[in-house]
Structure 1
Amino acid sequence: MLAAGWLIARTPFSADLSAFLPASPEPAQRVLLEQLHSGVAARTLMLGVEGGDARQRADASRRLATTLRASGHFEQVHNGDQEAWATTGEWVFRHRYHLSPAVDAERFSVAGLRAAIDETLSLLGTPAGAALKPLLDSDPTGETQRIAEALLPAQGPRIEEGVWASRRAPRAVLMLQGRVAGGDLQAQAALIAEVRAAFAAVQREPALAGLQLQISGPPLFAVDSRERIETEVIELAIAGTLVIGALLLLAFGSLSAVAIAFVPVASGVVAGIAAVALGFGSVHGMTLGFGSTLIGEAVDYAIYYLIQARGAAQPGQGWRHWLVQSWPTVRLGLLTSVCGFAALLFSGFPGLAQLGLFSIAGLCGAAAATRWLLPALRPDGAPGVGLRRWLGVQAGHGIAGLQRARRWVWLLAAVALAVLAWPRGPLWHGDLSSLSPVPRALMALDTDLRADLAASDAGTLVIAQAASAEAALQAAEAAGARLDALVAEGGLGGYDSPARWLPSLATQRARLASLPEAPVLAARLAEATAGGPLKAERLQPFVAQVQAARALPPIEPAALAGTPLAPLLEAMLFQRSGSGSDRAWVALLPLQPGAQPIDAAAVRTALQGLPGLQVVDIKHELDSLYQRYLREALWQSALGAAALVLLLAVALRSARRLLVLCLPLGLAVLLTLAGLVAAGVPLGILHLVGLLLVVAVGSNYALFFDQLAQGGPADADTLASLLLANATTVISFGLIAQSKIPALAAIGQVVAPGALLALLLSAACIRSRMTRRSA
């Protein structure tokens, strides 16, 4: 225990929800999961400012944005104010011939120049004319206008008082992107605190004191989830300890006995945490939350010992009596539980594998403390009597009644089968979001803010992977040429591409090579403008700037560093972490739906023949990912149950006893499953884990009743120990069922009723001599 404590003191604890994402997804799915964990989305916050009038909200938005930009902790702070883009606009204008998709040799022919100049002149009478007129002499072909058209999103936030505002509510909106890694929750929490502090400073202005700040986004979800998990772990542990401690005090009537009963629990928790620390290098907060269930199951061993070691003929020899009569059954029950939990070790979710290892090591630690430590502390069991004798007598009456009424068990089983057979779609379903601890109210706010920013998640992506950034950009350009045709046909509303912000070097060189030399351009201009309202002599700045552009080198990614364009490019062009082939460069092209939803099959057909491209329907991929691991979990659970049955077969050496012992476990699973389906609970992977635990925990009760059936001790103390052990397990898992963390609540919702049913059905189905004696 000292060595384990030393190890725990050196072990980091985390609440990173990626532990409950699959460990070995497909390549396209891996890109998605990496983005969820550490991509730009994982560093993006959305803010809303409510209250006051439009002018007050706009003033607060500008003040808040100015403060956050000055902090240097954010890569992007956007609120619709264009001042931050002033220098970027100058850079784009200087490199317009690198960036404009219209630049080619035809563009600078006489016919091309004439058409481009005529189009620019026609725009002077439109609302955009005021912005174009100052650029007319130096950019008569309108390349700046075309870059702007290509870069503007299909839809954007509404502008009110010069800043972004909601289309549906009186709210100013902002979007931030932090510089810290998405998985660094401590740093993310500091950024969120900084945002709140900056807004508090804004509120000190008397005119802005009544405004309220709303925050949403993945960093807030992660930080909020960590705090929620930490809080629930403490609350569950305290509640479980108090409730179970009070129950044991009533049963034993001795504070020292209650204290000793928690020795195996403490030993099990320490052993479980240390084992996870050795196996995984860190311990997830969810694992500790699940560990509170260990209070209910580990204390069972102490209950069995403290009650069943009483009544020895010679003082100090009660532990020997227990060792002969009860320890073999407890040991076999421990092994069956280990078989059940072992299935979790092979889960594709690292978080579930942690739960399995924690439970196995914890139960072994608790059993070891019961076997070797409690006999030294209490050789003759618990000294107090309390309500234990009364509990044992009532348990005897209850068992006799259950065995008389066991014909009703078959009726219940028939009803359960009918419920499960009723057509209602697939029995097992759910998705990855079912594991999320984020409250619905916070998710609703996130949806509202995304709608305000016109930043709803793209449902379909084109992913281009290549060995270099240049190759990834060329692949994105090839895909863009095919996607443009879909946009023109109406199959897509539009798409984003990193090649719009940074064309490949090959494309840039081709565009620069198409720019004519000064004498040639001047001659073509004279011919193109002949008879028109714009004279060639006025366009000498245009000729000079074309020649300057010819001398500029192609734009490298480093040239965008420090500009607002850099984070936008990094969101769509990045190098994956890892080594070897895993460090491929990835270009993301989010697709925007048109009048109809995106047809992923049509997009795949349009891109057919282009190497290195994948079309990913995000919802479909995440659903298939979840279904894949659900199928694996079904097989693993079946193997765990088979291992448990095999272990019992070896130990019992009787097919009849094995069948009688497995019957109540199977019925407990059947009735629990039917009850959840009848209650409309969507069954997912964690409910499956819970059913496996029902078998693992319930096997302990079945084994004790089998021992009674073979002529084992059937006094009131033995029955009281079974009843108390079951009560502590049901209470601990019942508390977890109330958790606000779905991953924990799902397990509690299954195991609490399932463990109770396992006890009742074992009592009803396993007939023993005890029935005649109690009668």
Structure 2
Amino acid sequence: MKPSLNQFLSHKTAKLRLLIWLTLIAITLATGLVLWQGGARVQSDILAMLPKVSESPMTQRAMAQVEQQLANRIYLGFISDNEQSAIDAAKTAMAKLKQPSKDGTQVSHRESAFIDISSADMAQAEALNRYYFNHRFQLLTDEQQQLLERGQWQQLTQATLEKLYNAFSYANSDLLSHDPLLLYPDNLIALAPSQQLSVKQGVLLKTIAPKVLNQSPQFAAIVMAKGRDSAFNPNAQQLQLSALTAAFDAVKQQDSDIEIIKAGALFHATAATDNAKKEVSTIGLISLLGVIALVWFAFRSFRPLTIALVTVSSSFLFAVVTTTAVFGELHLLTLVFGTSLIGISIDYCFHYYCERLNHPSHSSDRVIQQIFIAISLALLTSVIAYSAIGLAPFPGMQQVAIFCASGLVGAYLTLLLAYPTLAARPLRDGNRALDYASRYQGFMLSLMPTVPRKRLLLAVGTCMFIIIGFTQLTANDDIRQLQHTPADIQAEEDELRTLLSGGTDNQFLLVTADSEQQVTDELAQLEPLLKQAKQDNLIGNHLSLSRFLPSQSAQERHYQLQGQIYREYLDEILARLGLDPSIKGALVEQYQAAKGNFITADNLLNHAAGESFKPLWLSPQEGETGYGAIVLLGGITQLEALTQHFDALPHVELVDKVGDISTVMGHYRQITLGLLALALLIAGIIFTFRFGVRLAAVVVAVPALSALLTLACLGVSNNPLTLFHALALILVFGIGIDYSLFFAESKQQTRGVMMAVFMSAMSTLLAFGLLAFSQTPAINAFGLTLLLGIGFTFLLSPFIQIFTRKSNDVD
């Protein structure tokens, strides 16, 4: 150690270092308070941690519009044996949801928690009628078009007569004076998407067929709403849940037999938030209690426990403030992963006190000088490991990297600056604990075969296990593993999606072209393929602008075909229908005035009739030239087959953000494993300058073999490899190599090191072992990998003494 550094770590500077440490703590606290008062917050949105997928500007805009349309929407179903009861329940719920919301403290807000609360949108239907009636000469159904193309206008006349004499006919004199063959009503009906929902009293209804013979059907009334704020905002969650609870209570008071089902991101986000909070508190508390028990077991004193708590607290303070300063927020997932920092930052405390136990006559300053190189190398390798995690394309994982790296720096500075004063008092006799550690190490070393043949068999057996595990190892990069959904919530959502004929999925079709007319032409060509996909059970439903925005060529064709009616056969048609011949002039005039009156994207979307269709259209923005249209899909059953279904259309792209992100995850999983190999190589080079090539290779081999054994165990246990397993392996290296370092630095004096490594490993296993029991698959994968990896490293690290000791005696 350099003289200047040795002088800085001497007893003479202890008070100065404590003052520096207290100043750092005060500055960090003040910075944290400023950040939180300035708007920093805890982020619970699972989407905020997803990687950013590189897409074209048009695709990015399309994804943003779809997300905006689908985000924060909830769907409610009120099921009853009585149709009117279901309708009444829906009306009661809608009325209640429109009232100003209350939070958990019963404080009323000026606005309701939800907007766009509706069932069947009657205003939209009226707006559609007003708009399309003015364009009736550009509209024909497929059947009407075919009849006119064949010159069979007489059949249209016959159909009109049947409607006129039907008791339930919607025909009246005003409609007949504008549309004598009643073509328009059929076109208006054709605009409605095909579905099995009916409308009664302004409420969407679905009749549920009985599951058992001789049982009456049930009726489900559907209500839709959109949260005023993000469903992933904890405060908004509380307001929306309170509003829903009040609405459900009102419904139940009205009819206690009503069954209520619900779906939407709100319920998934709430479950994720509650689960994350529960796991943070549970894992953090049990981990902390475990650390307390370990410290008391080893030192039989509250002073080391107090110092341990100071170390952990300062570590978390540095971690939280640094992460918040860098990102402006703190993700709940970061806190869940960050609870493992307890088991890592405490390592410095363990190594310090175990070294003091092993050398009770040494002062605190001398102990720090003795372990300085080892803890500095340990910090360096851990920061390298966390930096590798930070290269992942996940803001959440980047936060974990910053959180844990800065937390370890905080623990390291606490050891160097505060321990000489705060932990200066000597410990009680700890020979019993040190003897236990020495016996354990002796037992482990005795397991190593001394006969070369047996060592070869052990090596071959280990290699065979690794090979077998690797042959069974698979990969799964689906981002759905990021979030755990309780079975009851998923069951309700599946039931409601069935009622809505599949609902709307996150995947959609994007149609692009150079002009508006080309886009509408592409939509028209796409429609038959969509109908075929539905017949093939590839999708349950779709929503396309082709129904509401026919191509200009189709509109022109429809206008010309209707010329048969208004130019050639109008007299005969009026006579057959018994209509007053005097209306002929006005009809011809209306027809001629409609020439060129095309339905365009601009006039439709700027009309009340097209307000809800705006998210489905993409006009060129500044610097762009192309147009686009979005086709929403629902009830997708076979995504890969659906993708191939549209291969023949070069201007149609199936946008699958989930699939794209999953592909990115797979890519970065491979990169992360490559970074692990690179980190091992860099560490080996660094250690070569300290230990020489042979011992440096042994130090690096311990975490490397642990990683291989961990992967083999995952393969044998049929756990698919994910990015989170790979990220955890980086930490296996970063944490586990510390054990190798301390054994390599200790040479023959390993009794104190063995005790410190034992306590460090137990605390780390406790923290990460608890993560392995998380209900969130991503966290579970992270914890399980570390549980296995650190366990193997702990078992293997004592064997380094074989390469460091000069005799068989262990101090």
TM-score, L = length of structure 1:
0.84
User: Which residue of structure 1 aligns with residue 617 of structure 2?
Assistant: 573
**Structure 1's 723 and 770: CA in aligned 2 closer, same or farther, altered over 3 A?**
farther
Indicate how the Cα distance of structure 1 residues 525 and 111 shifts in structure 2: closer, same or farther if over 3 A, else same: farther
* Deviation per residue, 1:158-214 (Å, 9 max, x gap): 779974236467562524241635466243542343233122122222xx0243433
Aligned to 2:570: 526
AA aligned opposite 1:603: F
Question: Structure 1 residue 6 and structure 2 residue 38: aligned?
Answer: no
Give the structure 2 partner of residue 22 of structure 1: 51
Give, in angstroms, the shift of residue 148 of structure 1: 3.8
Q: How far did residue 141 of structure 1 move?
A: 4.5
TM-score of the pair, normalised by structure 2 = 0.80
2:437 maps to: 392
Go from structure 1 to structure 2 and tell me whether the alpha carbon gap of 1:35 and 1:224 turns closer, same or farther (over 3 Å shift). farther
**Residues 1:705 and 2:743 are matched in the alignment:** yes
Change (3 A) 1:546 1:219: farther
- Residue 602 of structure 1 and its aligned partner are, at CA, apart by 4.6
Give the 3 Å change call, closer, same or farther, for CA 50–637 of structure 1 in structure 2.
farther
Aligned partner of 1:307 in structure 2 is: 354
Match of 1:590 among 625, 632, 635: 632
Q: How many angstroms apart in 2 are the aligned matches of 1:582 and 1:5? A: 48
State whether residues 309 and 379 of structure 1, in contact with CA within 8 Å, keep that contact through their aligned partners in structure 2.
no
Shift of 1:677: 1.7
Matched with 2:792 is 757
8 Å CA contact 2:140, 2:558 repeated in 1:
no
Higher alpha-carbon deviation: 339-348 or 110-119? 110-119
The equivalent of 2:700 in structure 1 is 662
State how far apart, in whole Å, the 2-side matches of 1:593 and 1:49 are.
21
Contact 1:254 1:384 in 2 (8 A): no
- Aligned positions of 1:438-449 closer than 5 A: 438-449=485-496
Residue aligning to 2:11: none
Distance 1:530 1:459 in 2: 51
Deviations 1:554-600 (A, max 9, x none): 67768767958523x14423579xx9669987521235799998553
With over 3 angstroms needed to count, the CA separation of the structure-2 counterparts of 1:77 and 1:308, relative to structure 1, is: same
1:242-257 to 2 correspondence within 5 Å? 242-257=289-304
Is the contact between residue 93 and residue 248 of structure 2 (CA under 8 Å) also seen in structure 1?
yes
- 2:274 corresponds, among 227, 233, 246, to 227
Displacement of 1:60: 1.0
Residue 772 of structure 1 corresponds to which residue in structure 2? Answer: 808
1:326 match: secondary structure: helix
Q: Which residue pairs with 1:172 in the alignment?
A: 220
Mapped pair 1:645 → 2:684: yes
Q: Which residue of 2 aligns with 1:728?
A: 763
1:4 maps to amino acid: T
Aligned to 2:750: 714
1:630 maps to: 669
Displacement after TM superposition at 1:255 (Å): 1.9
Distance 1:670 1:522, change over 3 A: closer
Alpha carbons of structure 1 residues 429 and 150: separation in structure 2 relative to 1, 3 Å: same
Report the CA distance shift for 1:596/1:243 in structure 2 as closer, same or farther (over 3 A): closer
> Does residue 91 of structure 1 match 2:130?
yes
Query: For the Cα contact (< 8 Å) 1:669–1:691, is it kept in 2?
Result: yes
Amino acid in structure 1 at the alignment position of 2:32 = I
Contact persistence 1:61–1:173 (CA under 8 A): yes
What is the CA distance between 1:454 and its match in structure 2?
0.8
Runs (5+) with no aligned partner, structure 1: none
What residue identity is the alignment partner of 1:172? A
1:221 Cα deviation (Å)? 1.7
- Greater CA deviation, 441-450 or 326-335? 441-450
| Other-structure match for 2:390 | 345
Contact map agreement 1:64 1:202 (CA 8 A) in 2: yes
1:726, distance to aligned residue in structure 2 (A): 0.9
SS of match in other structure, 2:502: coil
- 2:573 alignment partner AA: T
Which piece of structure 1 moves more, 23-32 or 240-249?
A: 23-32
Whether the aligned pair in 1 keeps the contact of 2:702 and 2:740 (CA below 8 Å) is yes
Give the equivalent residue in structure 2 for 1:282. 329
Q: Give the 5 Å matches for 1:415-426.
A: 415-422=464-471, 424=472
Amino acid corresponding to residue 477 of structure 1 in structure 2: T
1:391 and 1:171 map into 2 onto residues whose CA distance is 71
SS of corresponding position for 1:773:
coil
Establish whether residue 156 from structure 1 lines up as the match of residue 196 from structure 2: yes
Amino acid at match of 1:660: V
Q: What SS does the corresponding residue of 1:739 show, helix, strand or coil?
A: coil
Q: Distance in 2 between matches of 1:593 and 1:243?
A: 48
Quote the residue 2:153 is aligned against.
114
- In structure 2, relative to structure 1, the CA distance for the partners of 1:448 and 1:380 (3 Å cut) is same
Correspondence for 2:400 among 326, 351, 355: 355
**Structure 2, unpaired ranges of 5+:** 1-24, 101-111, 212-217
Contact 2:683-2:700 within 8 A present in 1 as well: no
Do the aligned partners of 2:41 and 2:329 also contact (CA within 8 Å) in 1? yes
RMSD over aligned CA atoms reads 4.2
* Separation of aligned partners in 1, 2:772 and 2:131: 57
Superposition deviation, residue 358 in structure 1: 1.3
8 Å Cα contact 1:116/1:141 also seen in 2? no
Q: Is the 8 A contact 1:253 1:384 kept in 2?
A: no
Q: 1:483 aligns with which of 522, 526, 544?
A: 526
**DSSP 3-state at the match of 2:510:** strand
- The amino acid that maps onto 1:26 is E
Instruction: Report the Cα distance in structure 1 between the residues aligned to 2:702 and 2:418, rounded to whole angstroms.
Output: 33
Change (3 A) 1:651 1:108: same
Alpha-carbon distance in structure 1 between the residues aligned to 2:139 and 2:436: 84
Q: Deviations over 1:444-480 (max 9, x none)?
A: 322221111113445863313579xxx5x54431212
How many residue pairs are counted as aligned between the two chains? 748
Deviations 1:212-252 (A, max 9, x none): 43322123222332332233222222221122212222222
| Change in 2 beyond 3 A, CA 1:459/1:380 | closer
User: Hey, what's the Cα distance between the residues in 2 that align with 1:343 and 1:669?
Assistant: 16
- Where does 1:592-611 land on structure 2 (aligned, <5 Å)? 599-605=642-648, 607-608=649-650, 610=651
Residues 1:531 and 1:281: Cα distance change in structure 2 (over 3 Å):
same
CA offset digits 1:348-407 (Å, max 9, x no partner): 122111111211111111111112211220125644749634542443343333445894
Cα contact 1:245–1:258 (8 A) shared by 2? yes
Q: Which one of the candidate residues 469, 475, 491 is aligned to 1:428?
A: 475
Question: Any idea what SS the aligned residue of 2:508 has?
Answer: strand
**CA distance in structure 2 between the partners assigned to 1:556 and 1:479 by the alignment:** 14
Structure 1 residues 15 and 528: CA distance shift in structure 2, 3 A: farther
Work out the CA distance in 2 between the residues paired with 1:236 and 1:383.
Answer: 31
Contact persistence 2:62–2:510 (CA under 8 A): no
**Rounded Cα–Cα distance in structure 2 between residues aligned with 1:136 and 1:176:** 37
- In structure 2, what residue type is equivalent to 1:374? Y
Tell me whether 445-454 or 614-623 shows the greater mean CA deviation.
Answer: 614-623
Shift of 1:737: 1.2
Letter in 1 for 2:205: W
Quickly say closer, same or farther: Cα 1:61–1:374, change in 2 above 3 A.
same
Cα gap change, 1:379/1:732 in structure 2, threshold over 3 Å: closer, same or farther? Answer: same
Which amino acid is 1:624 matched to?
A: T
1:46 equivalent among 58, 72, 75: 75
Aligned-pair distance for 1:5?
2.4
2:397 maps to amino acid: L
Q: Give the superposition deviation at 1:670.
A: 1.6
Query: Which of 398, 401, 410 is equivalent to 2:446?
Result: 401
**Which one of 451, 454, 475 corresponds to residue 501 of structure 2?**
454
